[in-house]
Every structure is written in structure tokens, then in C-alpha cells.
């Protein structure tokens, strides 16, 4: 990075540190912070979407759909997320490839499962065998997002389901009295009002989501924990220009500070959002706001 970095062993401390902290490996660590933030930014709305679908399904009039929604919520919530992560990504990947295989290679005669191997035709591979590396990375990232969204979607569904039931039934009855049909009641009355009831649960979920990101490396995404472990481990002079002892503690301390700061920031933002959403609502907090004004 800096011009004086050619011979790190002879540098004074601060210059050594400056060089050390700007090695290619450290750059990867800084990049991975961006990866984690990007993942959070994409996963949160996706999980909310899954949650909305799950909650709507769980209160659907059509019984099989209702069962599906409730089973989805119950199963995913009953299993530790880590167990899910350990096999779900591979399962998801194989499922996609299998579906593509059936569509793209109808005249393929060999078995897809050959012993332990999972073999699909070359055209069905995801990403294609000759795709450039960045496509593989984007695909790996996308499956990680999808896995996170499925797991956290179940939790979001749970929260939204509760919120939908918390909207006072008088509101829905009034809507019916005004001649709205079920669909109109759902979209015009229920959905706009449920958010204030859902927000405490959703903000809690957001906090959980933040704290689940150290498990990203299980999904094949090289996240901050991966790099902290890799960089912190002691290094012998033979394989690096920057030998050092076991520094994992310092790297993990940095991670700790990162997570605490991020949590604090989220708390502040969510509190403000809550104050805005409460405005004009028929809840205790809304009442308090009205009186204070």
C-alpha cells in the first residue's frame, strides 16, 4: 500500500502497523464488512416478504394453504438456525440444479445421484461451469441471502401473524359495514394498521439478524469472522512478511465493538421509527404522544 512497505521487518512500530493493516488480506476483511452490511440490507426486506407471505398463508381461508403457512413457521422456528445453515445451502443448490436439469436436459439418461455424487448435465449447472468467478460469488451470496430469508422469514411471519390478530376487530367490522370486501379490508385496513403492532417484534428480529451474521461463513460466504480468525492466528515468519503471535483476541475485540455500535445505532433508528408509526394510532403510546403534544 505505502511506498515504505517493502521491507516490513526493518520498520518502526507505527509504520509496520500501517503496512500491516493495509495488506491485501486486511483489505479483504474491510470488504467483508461491506458484504455483511449488504447481506443485511438485502435479507431484511426479503425476509419480511417471506414473513408476509407466511403470515398471510397462516390466516388464509383455504385450509391446505393455512397448514402450509403454519407448518413453515413451526418447523423453521423449532430448529436451531445453525443446524439449518449446515445443510440447507447445499440442499437448496441441488434443488435448483435438479429443476434446471429436468427442464434443460430432458433426454439425459444417467442417474442424477451416482452413489454419493450429485451429477447434473453441464447446461444445468448453477452457475455454469465456464462462468467467471464473480458469478460464482454472486450466486453463493444469493443462496446465503435466500437461506437467511427463509429462516428469518419464519420468525417475521410469526410476528406479523400476531400483529394481524392484534388489530382491533372493530376496525375490520367497520370496514365490512362500509361494504368493503375481504381483499379490500385486508389491504386497506389491516395491513396499514398492523405495522405499529409488528414493529417491536420486527425490530427485535432485526437485532437477531445482525447477531446471526457471524454464522455466514457456514454458508460459504467469507465474512468478518472468517477473516478475523484467519488474520488473528499466529503467523510464522516463513509464510508472511508480518509475523505475529496469536492476535485473535484483538480482532474479536474489534468485531465486538462493531456489533455493539451497530446494535446501538439500530436501536436509535428504530426508536425514532416507532415514534413516527405510533403517531395518530389508537394505542397507549399513541395516546401519550397526543397528550404530550
Please give the residues from 172 up to 191 whose contact with other proteins meets the rule CB under 8 A.
none
Q: Does 208 bind other proteins (CB under 8 A)?
A: yes
Binding part of the chain for other proteins, among 101-109, 172-180, 187-195, 251-259 by CB under 8 A, reads 251-259
Footprint (CB under 8 A) of other proteins, residues 114-173: 114-120, 122, 125, 129-130, 133, 136-137, 140-141, 155, 158-159, 161-163, 165-166
- Which of 13, 62, 63, 87 binds other proteins (CB under 8 A)? It is 87
| Minimum separation from the CB atom of position 103 to other proteins (A) | 18
- Per DSSP bridges, beta strands 113-114 and 117-118 are antiparallel
CA distance 60 to 51: 14
Binding part of the chain for other proteins, among 168-176, 184-192, 199-207, 270-278 by CB under 8 A, reads 199-207
* 97: CB partners within 8 A, 6+ apart: 118, 120, 124, 125, 126
H or E segment and range at residue 113: strand 113-114
- Which of 42, 68, 93, 100 binds other proteins (CB under 8 A)? It is 93
Q: Does 286 bind other proteins (CB under 8 A)?
A: no
Pull the grid cell for residue 204: 427485535
* 19: CB partners within 8 A, 6+ apart: 1, 2, 4, 5, 8, 11, 242
- Which of 200, 269, 280, 290 binds other proteins (CB under 8 A)? It is 200
Footprint (CB under 8 A) of other proteins, residues 52-81: 74-75, 77-81
| Minimum separation from the CB atom of position 177 to other proteins (A) | 26
Q: Does 17 bind other proteins (CB under 8 A)?
A: no
The candidate with the shortest Cα–Cα distance to 219, out of 285, 292, 111, 137, is: 137
CA distance 18 to 170: 65
Amino acid at each position: 500500500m505505502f511506498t515504505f512497505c517493502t521491507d516490513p521487518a526493518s520498520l518502526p512500530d507505527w509504520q509496520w502497523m500501517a503496512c500491516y493493516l493495509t495488506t491485501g488480506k486486511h483489505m479483504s476483511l474491510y470488504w467483508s464488512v461491506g458484504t455483511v452490511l449488504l447481506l443485511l440490507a438485502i435479507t431484511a426486506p426479503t425476509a419480511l416478504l417471506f414473513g408476509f407471505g407466511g403470515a398471510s398463508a397462516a390466516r388464509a381461508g383455504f385450509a391446505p394453504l393455512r397448514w402450509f403457512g403454519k407448518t413453515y413457521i413451526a418447523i423453521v422456528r423449532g430448529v436451531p438456525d445453525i443446524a439449518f445453515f449446515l445443510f440447507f445451502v447445499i440442499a437448496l443448490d441441488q434443488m435448483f440444479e435438479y429443476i434446471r436439469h429436468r427442464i434443460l436436459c430432458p433426454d439425459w439418461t444417467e442417474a442424477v445421484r451416482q452413489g454419493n455424487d450429485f451429477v447434473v448435465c453441464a447446461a444445468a449447472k448453477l452457475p455454469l461451469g465456464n462462468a467467471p468467478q464473480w458469478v460464482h460469488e454472486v450466486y453463493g451470496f444469493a443462496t446465503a441471502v435466500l437461506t437467511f430469508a427463509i429462516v428469518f422469514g419464519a420468525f417475521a411471519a410469526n410476528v406479523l401473524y400476531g400483529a394481524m390478530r392484534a388489530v382491533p376487530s372493530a376496525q375490520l367490522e367497520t370496514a365490512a359495514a362500509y361494504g368493503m370486501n375481504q381483499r379490500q379490508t385486508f389491504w386497506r385496513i389491516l395491513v396499514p394498521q398492523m405495522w405499529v403492532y409488528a414493529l417491536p417484534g420486527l425490530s427485535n428480529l432485526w437485532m437477531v439478524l445482525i447477531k446471526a451474521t457471524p454464522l455466514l461463513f457456514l454458508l460459504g460466504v467469507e465474512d468478518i469472522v472468517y477473516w478475523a480468525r484467519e488474520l488473528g492466528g499466529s503467523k510464522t515468519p516463513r509464510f508472511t512478511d508480518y509475523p505475529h503471535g496469536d492476535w485473535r483476541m484483538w480482532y474479536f475485540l474489534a468485531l465486538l465493538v462493531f456489533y455493539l455500535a451497530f446494535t446501538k445505532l439500530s436501536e436509535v433508528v428504530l426508536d425514532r421509527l416507532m415514534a413516527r408509526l405510533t403517531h395518530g394510532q389508537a394505542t397507549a403510546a399513541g395516546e401519550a404522544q397526543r397528550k404530550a403534544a
